[in-house]
Amino acid sequence: RSVSLRPGRATSLWSYQSRVLKGDPASVQALPDSYLGPILRLRRGQKVRIDFINRLDQPSTVHWHGLHVPDTMDGHPRFAIGPGELYRYEFEVRNRAGTYWYHPHPHGHTGEQVYFGLAGLLLVSDEEEQALPLPRGQYDLPIVIQDRSFDDGNQLRYLSGTGPTARGDASGAPSAPGNTMGGRGMMGGMMSRGAMMSGGMGDMMTRMMGFLGDTILVNGRPESLIEVATHPYRLRILNGSNSRIYKLAWQDGRPLTVIGTDGGLLERPVHKDYVMLAPAERVELWADFSKDDLGTQLTMMSLAFEGAMGRMMDMMGGSFMGGAMGGSSLAAGVRFPIFTVKVARKANGSLELPDRLSAISWPRLQDAVNRAKPRTFRITMAQMQWGFNGRSFEMTAVAPNEVVKLRTTEVWEFANDSGMMTMAHAIHVHDQQFQVPERRHGMGNNRVRDGYVDQGWKDTVLVMPGDRVKLLMRFADYPGLYLYHCHMLEHEDLGLMRNYRIE
Ligand code: C2O
Ligand code: CU
C-alpha cells in the first residue's frame, strides 16, 4: 500500500486491510490516510472469528497483544503462514475493557513487519466501563506513537534488504544514499549514518541496540496537531515504536491524570508529572481541556532521561548514540515534542473525573506458589545474541525453568544486568495481565522512577539497566505454549524471546 506521508513521492508500506463479513460493521474502523490497521472494537464475552490472509512475500502471524486466548490463537511464530495462506483466529474476548493492539509475530521478522506498517488497535469494552461517565465518541481519542526514518525518496529506512521495496529491487538494498559499508574501521563505520542503515556492522548494531527513528508519527501520520474541544478527553496512548522509550509529560507542567494501563482502568485515577512508556505499553489519560481558552496549544513532550543505553554509552564513548543513529536522528532519552493539541472549539456539556474507576480483585503475593523463591530470568548477551539465562529463542523448546502449572499464581523476577551490554528492555509476557509488586532500582535512573504506573494490570513492563522487577501472575484457563520476550522488536528478533509452557 502507498500512503502520502510527506511532500513528493508516496511511501510504500505494508498494511492490514479488512472487512466485516458478519456482525457489527462498526466493530472495524478503518483509518483513512493511515497505514495503521483498522481499530477493532470488541466487547468482553464476544466471540470473534478473524480470517487472516497473508499477502506478504514472507511468513506472518497475528498476535492479539494483551489478550488472554488459547495458545493456537495467540499468533506464536510456530503458526506462521506463508504467502497466500489463511489462518483462522477464533476466540472469546475474556479481557477487561481496555486498550489492546495487534501486530505480526513471525520468527525473526517482527521488527520488520511492524516497522513497515503492520499494527492496529484493539479496544475492548465491558459493562463496568460502560456504566462510567467516561469521554466517548469524538472524546475518546486513540494515539499511537511510532518513530520512523525516511530516505530522500520518502521510503522508510530500516535494516538493509527489508520492507516492501526491498525485494525485486536489483540492488537488494533499500534506496538509502551512502549505502557502502565495506571494510571500514569498526567505530568509524558504526558512527556514520549511511553505514548504520546499510548492511554489515551497521545492521548488527541496530539489531543489538534497537532501531530509533528520527521522525515521530502519530496514528500513522506525520502531522502532529490534533484539534480538540473544551471538554475532557480519554487519550488512549500506545507506544507502537519498535524500540523507543518515551517519557511523556505535558509541556506546561500540568500533571498527567492516568486512568488506565495495559490491562484497562485503574481502581482510581493517579496523577503523575511524567509517565514512562516503553514499546508496546499503553497508558490512558484523562485530559480535560474544558477550562482552556480557545486557541490554547498544549504539547505532549518526551522529556530527557538517562540510562536507556545503560553502560553501552560508556563502552561506545558517549557519542555512540548520537553518532551512530545519524546526525539528524533522535538519540535515546533526548527531549522532543510528540504531538500538540489545539483547543479549537467550544463543547456542550462536560464530565467529572470519577474518583473510583474500577473494582479489582488482585492476586496476592502470598498466593504465589513460589513466593519464597521467585523464578528468575536474567537478561543476557552472548555471541551477539540476546537471551534469557543464556538461552535465545528456539521455536518450540522449553527449558525446565520455563514450565508452570495451570491454575497457579507465581512471581517471576526479571534481572537486567548483562554486564557491559546492559540496556533498557521492555518485558512482555503473552497470555497474561500481571501485577508489578516490586521493583529494585540498580543503576540510578532517578529521572525515570516516578514515571511507572504499577498500580494497574500490565502485560509489558519497562526494566531499566540494573533493575530487578517482579511480576505476579496467575496461569488460568488455557494450558499451552506461550511466549515471553523483550518488546524492543530488534531485541526480540535477535533472540530475546523464549517459550514458557503452562501445563
Ligand atoms: Cu506485542 Cu509477543 O508481542
Ligand atoms: Cu530489549
Under a CB-based contact definition with an 8 Å cutoff, are residues 466 and 492 in contact?
A: no
Q: What is the pLDDT of residue 200?
A: 72
Give ∠ CA 345-350-351 in degrees, rounded to 5. 140
- 165 in Cβ contact with 121 (< 8 Å): no
For 86-196, strand residue ranges (E) read 86-92, 98-103, 120-125, 140-148
CA-wise closest residue to 128 among 151, 95, 160: 95
Half-sphere exposure of 260 (CA within 13 A, CB side): 29
Regarding the beta carbon of 123 and ligand 1, being less than 6 Å apart is answered no
CB 36 within 8 A of CB 120: yes
Closest CA relative to residue 463, chosen from 447, 484, 445, 475: 445
pLDDT at 313: 56
The residue-averaged pLDDT of 418-446 equals 90
- Can you tell me which atom of ligand 1 is nearest the CA of 430? 2
Give pLDDT, residue 166: 84
For residues 223 and 302, what is the distance between their CA atoms, to the nearest angstrom?
17
CA quadruple 110, 114, 118, 120: dihedral sign: positive
User: 201 vs 11, which has greater pLDDT?
Assistant: 11
105 ligand 1 Cβ < 6 A: yes
pLDDT digits (tens, 9 = 90+) for 242-298: 999 999 999 999 999 999 999 999 999 999 999 999 999 999 999 999 999 999 999
Tell me what pLDDT residue 229 has: 98
C-alpha cell at 53: 490472509
Instruction: Phi first, then psi: give them for residue 363, nearest 5 degrees.
Output: -70, 155
Q: Return the minimum-mean-pLDDT range out of 35-49, 147-161, 183-197, 308-322.
A: 183-197
Residue 93 has pLDDT above 70, yes or no: yes
Question: In this structure, is the dihedral angle defined by the CA atoms of residues 286, 290, 292 and 294, taken in order, positive or negative?
Answer: positive
The C-alpha cell at 468 is 530487578
- Ligand at minimal distance from the CA of 120 is 1
Instruction: Tell me, in angstroms, the distance from the centre of ligand 1 to residue 63's CA.
Output: 6
Residues 6 or more apart in contact with residue 428 via CB below 8 angstroms: 65, 280, 459, 460, 461, 484, 485, 486, 487
CA gap 154, 191 in Å, rounded: 23
First-residue to last-residue Cα distance in the chain: 42
Residue 328 has pLDDT above 80, yes or no: no
CA distance 491 to 209: 7
Give CA torsion, residues 431, 99, 496, 447, to 10 deg: -130
Q: What is the pLDDT of residue 316?
A: 56
Which CA distances in Å does 104 have to 60, 152, 169, 377? 6, 28, 24, 25
Q: Is the pLDDT assigned to residue 475 strictly greater than 90?
A: yes
Q: Which residues pair with 428 in a beta bridge?
A: 460, 485
Q: For position 319, what pLDDT does the model report?
A: 43
Question: How much is the average pLDDT of 70-79?
Answer: 98
pTM, 2 dp? 0.92
Of 50-64, 246-260, 445-459, the poorest mean pLDDT is in: 445-459
Q: What percent of the chain is predicted at pLDDT more than 70?
A: 89
Q: What is the pLDDT of residues 118-130, one digit of tens each?
A: 999 999 999 999 9
Domains of the chain: 2-132 (2.60.40.420), 365-502 (2.60.40.420)
Residue nearest to atom 3 of ligand 1 (CA): 65
Whole-number percent of the chain with pLDDT over 90: 83
pLDDT per position as a tens digit, 368-408: 999 999 999 999 999 889 999 999 999 999 999 999 999 99
Kindly indicate the confidence band of residue 177, based on its pLDDT and cuts at 50, 70 and 90. very low
pLDDT of residue 447: 86
Sign of CA dihedral 102, 106, 109, 113: negative
113 vs 194: which has the higher pLDDT = 113
Using a 10 angstrom Cβ sphere, with 0-12 exposed, 13-18 middle and 19 or more buried, the burial of residue 266 is: buried
Give the whole-angstrom CA distance, residue 77 versus residue 236: 28
Element at 127 (helix H, strand E):
helix 127-130
In one-letter notation, the amino acid at residue 60 is S
The reply to whether ligand 1 has any atom less than 6 angstroms from the CB of 485 is yes
Q: What is the mean pLDDT of residues 51-57?
A: 97
Give the pLDDT confidence score for residue 4 in this predicted structure: 97
The rounded Å distance from CA 426 to ligand 1 centre is: 10
Local confidence band at 199 (pLDDT 50, 70, 90 cut-offs): low
Is pLDDT at 487 greater than 60 in this prediction?
Answer: yes
Q: What is the mean pLDDT of the chain?
A: 90
Name the least confident of 67-71, 248-252, 312-316, 409-413: 312-316
Q: For the sheet containing 28-29, what is the strand order?
A: 28-29, 39-43, 120-125, 98-103, 63-65
The yes-or-no verdict on residue 236 having pLDDT over 80 is yes
Q: Whose CA is nearest to atom 1 of ligand 1?
A: 65
- Cα 391 to ligand 2 centroid, rounded to whole Å: 14
